[in-house]
Amino acid sequence: MSAYPYQPQSQPGSNTPSMTSLIDPFVYQTLLGVVQRDVTIQTTQGNLRGNVVNVLPDHVVLRVGGSTFFVRIQQIVWVMPS
């Protein structure tokens, strides 16, 4: 079995590869659903409120005010879309 997180979609007729996460795969899928939305992310350190710019299998890219934060998904407790 490949060690890469990339797994081609098994749906017939679709040739586009999609990524899955080996850790928290369903959290990753859910986060993909809030891209471009304003969210509050509670981490083990505190919270951040901003706009989800991008989601990758192990981190979220969040734009907070004028700054960009890369938040490790493993350190997220919950995400609340605004």
Partner 1 sequence: MFTRINRLAIELPEPEYGDANAAAAVQELLGGRFGEMSTLNNYLYQSFNFRGKRKLKPFYDLVASITAEEVGHVELVSNAINLCMKGITRPGDPDTTPLANGLNKRNTYHFIASAQTALPGDSMGKSWTGDYVFTSGNLVLDLLHNFFLECGARTHKMRVYQMTDHPTARAMIGYLLVRGGVHVVAYAKALEIATGVDLTKMLPVPDLDNEQFDATHPYIAMGLNRKLFTFSYQDYQDIAMIWRGPLPDGSTAEVIQGVPDGGPVPDLDELPEEFAPGVSREDFLEIAKRLQRSAGL
- Which residues of this chain interact with partner 1, rule CB under 8 A? 40, 42, 46-49, 64-65, 67, 80
**Residue 31 CB, nearest approach to partner 1 (Å):** 18
Closer to partner 1 by CB, 16 or 67: give it: 67
Which neighbouring-strand residues pair with 70?
61
**Residue 40 CB, nearest approach to partner 1 (Å):** 5
**Residue 52 CB, nearest approach to partner 1 (Å):** 16
* Alpha-carbon separation of residue 72 from 10, 15, 17, 61, 68 (angstroms): 28, 29, 23, 9, 13
| Distance, CA of 78 to CA of 71 (rounded, Å) | 12
